């Protein structure tokens, strides 16, 4: 056992950071035994001074994060500030000064992971980020290492706890979106400004990170098609139930082949989808997360657990901390970026899936035939149609076979222009069959 | 990219080995890109010569495994022979000659992992064994690395596909054990000699490996309490159903505290248990595996997937192969054995859980009171009792609160001696509540 301690700088001391500091303090002996050297907190950068943190030496705190990451005695910087700046500059500065980095910053990784990875390579340091996706659930490491000898075909996940809680409440209680969101806010599952969650930005950042690792290809948040859950209605949930499905906000990363050229490509998208009750993801309740991975040799794997929260996220950060410290002690480095495949990222229009389309139509003879012919003209094959009539109005529920998103969009556009179609009540993709 | 290839010796070319060789050949370019150097098969040791393997150079094959592992040009030995000898001697010989080792050999690791780890340490090589537990499901790496900064409290898993298939069939069809086992054999889910699976030896080896990693303590197969599923009857399955449970063969590794001294200790056990339908493990069907992990900070995690089979196990082997090769290229090593905690392993009698006890008793007044007093005398508190009488005979189903296994055993022993107890029809532990 080496006696010279490894020194850790912590950037941020909020919900996650304070938990990281607490565990580092209370479990110091275990961490030292696992690393092979003592691990100590060398400094904690916070935004505002003067706030006491129980059990932590006040001398550790500083409001000058820039000076902290430049210190020569720092082996490892843990970044749990979040956001693009100043996090990126601080991480790059830390690496330049020889420190390895553990971060939970999904937004930064999804926006500019390539810059961070390149800097880690240049300065010969580690960059670990297990906590950036799905909290405590080991997912980055299994994809980056356990499945490194396999070919991942598909990642299908519930990676945002807030939206899963809201959709689960809508499903269980029949509540509308606003009502369920209010409940989530009251219970602490949604933030005061829930935009990043409910509009799918958070899930899209995670999808970019997962797709990048799974397919050995650089994928940024801008490459990810994104729809949130604000448009999901109680009627959509009821429609899903009739189909034996639940509605989930899914992050989906897929490998496919171009129909014309046979060339491999990938897609990444986030949107609400109907998932059959028999699928393991359908049973993921409340704020839990779960990610389904399909690989050529491994088959179907699922990873399940708490996707957020101070302690679970701290668990992931500390796993990375131990790994990076072990690497330091052994004089080695963990895996770097693997983006050699450089597969093209296809736009949403090329995604192939099934659709559930609800139409309000005129209740007269021949309507179904006319609607069906529009689907047919666009090459969208219909699996089932259900017709419900009442008071001169009727509802048509069409479930399609697999078709491209572009073909479905063109179909819907034409349906909207038809006199007999009073409105398109809902369109939802059907996944996980 | 380094051009000098890393050279792999494969010991065994059966179901798993031939799949490893196939993927190494067909996915060579991907593996090279991920490792940072070409990876090539340098030799394959088989028991009998002369059998052709499609797509593999006949020159690679040898029946002299001992000579293969002594070759100086081997970077990595993949051992998929299984069993204690000659696997152990070959692995030790390979390490002595400077090769790192990837193995799927649960029996050897559970019997004598300490010797292998010590040799890896002595010769400065890697020992990876993700494939030894639960096939393709990443489990060793998450426990050994992702949760390295957390405190694992409990591991609860379905880690044997054969027994899960048999129990699932008994549950679904009402079949007895023998009939369900016959079906499993016919479908290829059970081997010709199913002893290792149905008697729980396979699961016990995995429990030893999991407990060792989870608790940073050496645990061998001999430390694991073991009961197979051969005594599970259709009546047990029906009794579980009445309780809203299913019967699963579980591997359970727990951390607890000695009631008297407060000292930490661990237990590891394998036995059939009733699991409530609401528990995620209850829904694991057919030959699938799933492992539930509870950790102090992370909370409850679950890992699910195919637990056996050539391709899934090869996926795990290849993930380790890439990791070990990356370490070679980087000049580092992965994590070694972590057994610093050296917690005592308690015997089964000290395990605390709940029990479902079915008794055939005389159908007369006062029987329930007499039976209840026996439980009370041994300090086993009763949760519920259900009494069914017919034709002068009656059945008592007692579900207890949490009690030690020793107390329950003493209770049952005394019950067996009572005249009014005609027989103990079934005893099963209740887990996962």
Phi–psi pair at A287, nearest 5 degrees: -90, 10
Residues in chain B closer than 8 A to A304 (CB atoms): 280, 301-304
Q: In a mutagenesis test of the B interface, which of A148, A290, A320, A323 is the best target, namely the one with the most B β-carbons within 10 Å?
A: A148
Report the residue of B25, B212, B297, B335 to disrupt the A interface, i.e. the one with the largest count of A CBs within 10 Å. B297
Q: What is the mean pLDDT of chain A?
A: 95
Domain of B183, CATH number, reads 3.30.360.10
- Write down the pLDDT at residue A303: 97
Q: Which of B206, B241, B248, B395 is catalytic?
A: B206
Q: Please tell me whether residues A106 and A149 are part of one structural domain.
A: no
Whether A320 and A353 map to the same domain: the answer is no
Contacts of A188 (CB under 8 A, 6+ apart): none
Q: Please list every residue in chain A whose beta carbon sits closer than 8 Å to the beta carbon of residue B299.
A: 136, 305-306, 309, 311-312
Does residue B1 lie in a domain region? Answer: no
Task: Give the range of the structural domain holding residue A61, as residue numbers without chain letter.
Answer: 6-135+311-330
Same domain? For B210 and B123 the reply is no
Sign for the pseudo-dihedral over CA of A85, A87, A90, A94: negative
Instruction: Compare CB distances from B315 to A27, A149, A331 and report the shortest one's residue.
Output: A149
Closest CA to A148 of B31, B431, B338, B429: B31
In angstroms, rounded to a whole number, what is the distance separating the alpha carbons of residues B156 and B293?
Answer: 6
Whether A216 shows a pLDDT value over 90: the answer reads yes
**Cβ neighbours for A14, distance < 8 A, ≥ 6 positions apart:** A80
For B193-216, what is the mean pLDDT?
A: 97
Rounded CA-CA distance B254/B249 in Å is 16
pLDDT at A52 over 70: no
Q: Do A297 and B315 touch (CB under 8 A)?
A: yes
A76 has a pLDDT exceeding 80: yes
pLDDT computed for residue A228 by the predictor: 98
Residues A185 and A228 in one domain: yes
Residue B82 is assigned to a ligand binding site: no
Instruction: Determine whether the annotation assigns residue B135 to a binding site.
Output: no
Q: Which of A34, A280, A341 sits opposite B148 (nearest CB)?
A: A34
What is the count of structural domains for chain A? Answer: 3
| Contact residues, chain A, for B341 at CB < 8 Å | 30, 33
Beta carbons of A148 and B318 less than 8 Å apart: yes
For residue B171, what are the CA distances in angstroms to B203, B284, B289?
A: 20, 12, 17
DSSP-derived secondary structure letter, A16? H
Q: So what's the pLDDT on residue A83?
A: 95
The interface predicted TM-score of the complex, written ipTM, equals: 0.93
As a whole number, mean pLDDT of residues B144-158 equals: 97
Residues 125-164 of B with CB under 8 A from A: 130, 136-138, 141-142, 145-151
The answer to whether A126 and A327 are in contact (CB under 8 A) is: yes
Rounded CA-CA distance A409/B289 in Å is 40
Residue A336 lies in a domain: no
Query: Is position B16 annotated in a ligand binding site?
Result: yes
The residue of chain A with its CA nearest to that of B314 is A297
Contacts of A326 in chain B (CB under 8 A): 335
Nearest by CB to B315, from A145, A147, A330: name it: A147
Establish how many alpha carbons lie within 13 A of residue B238's alpha carbon, considering only the half-sphere containing its beta carbon: 12
The CATH number of whichever domain residue B394 belongs to comes to 3.30.70.260
- Of the residues A70, A151, A206, A241, which is catalytic? A206
The per-residue DSSP string of B245-272 comes to EEEEEEEEEEEEE-TTT--EEEEEEEEE
Cα dist from B417 to A213, B112, B413, B421, whole Å: 63, 42, 7, 8
Contacts of B317 in chain A (CB under 8 A): 149
Backbone angles phi, psi at B85, to 5 degrees: -120, 145
Residue B332's pLDDT is what?
84
CA end-to-end span of chain B: 52
Is B397 annotated as contributing to ligand binding?
A: no
Closest B-chain CA to A334: B327
- Is the same domain home to A104 and A167? no
Res A186 pLDDT > 90: yes
pLDDT digits (tens, 9 = 90+) for B321-330: 999 999 999 8
β-partners of residue B424 are B359
CATH number at residue B69: 3.40.50.720
Predicted pLDDT at B402:
97
The CA distance from A266 to the nearest CA of chain B, in Å, is 16
Which tens digits make up the pLDDT trace of A297-324?
A: 999 999 999 988 999 999 999 999 999 9
User: For residue B158, which residues of chain A lie inside 8 Å, CB to CB?
Assistant: none
CA gyration radius, chain A:
24
Q: Are residues B192 and B222 located together in one domain of the fold?
A: yes
| pLDDT band, residue A163 (cuts 50/70/90) | very high
Please confirm, yes or no, whether A206 is among the known catalytic residues. Answer: yes
Torsion on CA atoms B255, B260, B263, B269, rounded to nearest 10: -30
Instruction: Evaluate if residue A364 carries a pLDDT over 90.
Output: no
Which residues in chain B are closer than 8 Å to A314, comparing Cβ atoms?
A: 297
**With contact defined as beta carbons under 8 Å apart, do A327 and B332 qualify?**
yes
pLDDT mean over A366-384: 95
In a domain, A184, yes or no: yes
Q: What pLDDT sits at residue A330?
A: 87
**Domain identity same for B244 and B368:** no
Looking at the structure, do residues B78 and B219 belong to the same domain, yes or no? no
The answer to the question of whether B12 is labelled as a binding residue is yes
Query: pLDDT tens digits, residue range A127-136?
Result: 999 999 998 9
B157 and B202 in a single domain? The answer is yes
Core vs surface per residue A227-243: b (16+ CB within 10 A) or e = bbbbebebebbebbeeb
Token readout for A192 is: 């005061």
How many percent of chain B have pLDDT more than 90? 88
B104: nearest Cα among B205, B187, B200, B189: B205
Which are the contacts of A90, defined by CB distance < 8 A and separation ≥ 6?
A11, A65, A66, A69, A77, A79, A81
Does residue A294 lie within any of the structural domains? yes
In a domain, B335, yes or no: no
A306, A339, A364 — which closes off a domain? Answer: A306
Q: Is residue B338 part of a domain?
A: no
Strand order in the sheet with B100-103: B61-62, B39-45, B6-11, B76-79, B100-103, B127-128
| B77/chain A closest Cα distance in angstroms | 16
Q: Chain B, 282-301: which have a CB under 8 Å from a chain A CB? A: 283, 295-301
Of B31, B295, B302, the CB nearest to A315: B295
**Are residues B315 and B281 both part of a single domain?**
no
Per-residue pLDDT at B207 exceeds 80: yes
Interface test with A, best of B130, B298, B330 (most A CBs within 10 A): B298
Find chain A residues with C-beta within 8 A of B321's C-beta.
149
Residue B185 lies in a domain: yes
pLDDT attached to residue B227:
97
**Is B346 within the bounds of a domain?**
no
The distance of B66 to chain A (nearest Cα, Å) reads 27
The per-residue pLDDT of chain B, averaged, comes to 95
In whole angstroms, how large is the CA radius of gyration of chain B?
24
Nearest to B243 by CA among B282, B200, B277: B277
Pick the residue from chain B with its C-alpha nearest to A145. Answer: B319
A188 backbone φψ class: left, alpha, beta (φ>0; ψ -120 to 50): left
User: What residue numbers of A does the annotated binding site cover?
Assistant: 11-18, 106, 191
Q: Is B15 annotated as a binding residue?
A: yes
The helix/strand/coil state of B50 is coil
- Quickly list DSSP for B161-174: HHHHHHHHHHHHH-
What's the pLDDT at B99? 98
Contact B332 A335 (CB under 8 A): no
The pLDDT-based confidence of B52 (bands split at 50, 70, 90) is low
Answer yes or no: do B147 and A340 touch at CB < 8 A: no
Residue A156 and residue A290 share a domain? yes
Per the DSSP assignment, residues forming a β-bridge with B300 are: B294
B76 and B153 within one domain = no
What local confidence, expressed as pLDDT, does residue B258 receive?
Answer: 83
Structure confidence by residue, pLDDT tens digits, A192-206? 999 999 999 999 999
B145 assigned ligand-binding residue: no
In this complex, do A312 and B322 lie within 8 Å of one another by their Cβ atoms? no
Mutate to test the interface with A, among B149, B302, B311 (most CBs of A within 10 A): B149
């Amino acid at each position: 056992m080496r006696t010279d301690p490894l020194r850790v700088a912590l950037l941020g001391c909020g919900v996650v950071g304070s938990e990281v500091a607490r565990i580092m303090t209370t479990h110091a002996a275990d961490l030292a035994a696992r690393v092979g050297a003592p691990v100590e907190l060398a400094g904690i950068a916070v935004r505002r001074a003067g706030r006491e943190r129980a059990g932590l030496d006040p001398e550790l705190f500083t409001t000058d994060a820039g000076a902290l990451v430049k210190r020569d005695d720092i082996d490892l910087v843990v970044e749990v500030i979040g956001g693009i700046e100043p996090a990126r500059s601080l991480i790059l500065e830390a690496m330049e000064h020889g420190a390895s980095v553990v971060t939970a910053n999904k937004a930064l990784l999804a926006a500019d992971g390539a810059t961070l990875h390149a800097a880690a390579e240049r300065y010969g340091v580690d960059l670990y980020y297990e906590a950036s996706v799905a909290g405590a659930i080991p997912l980055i490491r299994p994809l980056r290492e356990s499945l490194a000898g396999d070919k991942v075909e598909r990642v299908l996940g519930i990676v945002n706890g807030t939206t899963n809680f809201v959709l689960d409440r809508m499903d269980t209680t029949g509540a509308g979106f606003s009502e369920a969101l209010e409940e989530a806010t009251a219970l602490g599952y949604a933030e005061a400004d829930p935009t990043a969650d409910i509009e799918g930005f958070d899930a899209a950042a995670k999808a970019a990170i997962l797709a990048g690792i799974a397919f050995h290809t650089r994928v940024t948040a801008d490459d990810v098609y994104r729809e949130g859950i604000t448009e999901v209605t109680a009627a959509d949930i009821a429609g899903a139930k009739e189909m034996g499905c639940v509605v989930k906000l899914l992050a989906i990363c897929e490998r496919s082949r171009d129909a014309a050229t046979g060339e491999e490509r990938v897609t990444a998208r986030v949107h609400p989808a109907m998932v059959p009750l028999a699928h393991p993801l359908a049973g993921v309740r409340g704020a839990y997360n779960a990610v389904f991975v399909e690989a050529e040799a491994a088959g179907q794997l699922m990873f399940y657990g708490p996707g957020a929260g101070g302690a679970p996220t701290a668990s992931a950060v500390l796993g990375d901390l131990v790994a990076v410290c072990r690497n330091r002690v052994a004089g080695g480095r963990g895996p770097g970026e693997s983006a050699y495949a450089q597969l093209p990222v296809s736009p949403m229009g090329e995604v192939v899936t099934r659709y559930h389309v609800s139409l309000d139509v005129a209740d007269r003879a021949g309507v179904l035939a006319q609607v069906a012919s529009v689907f047919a003209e666009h090459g969208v094959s219909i699996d089932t149609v259900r017709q419900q009539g009442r008071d001169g109005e009727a509802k048509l529920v069409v479930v399609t076979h697999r078709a491209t998103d572009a073909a479905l969009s063109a179909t819907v556009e034409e349906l909207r222009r038809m006199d007999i179609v009073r409105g398109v009540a809902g369109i939802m993709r059907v996944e996980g069959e």
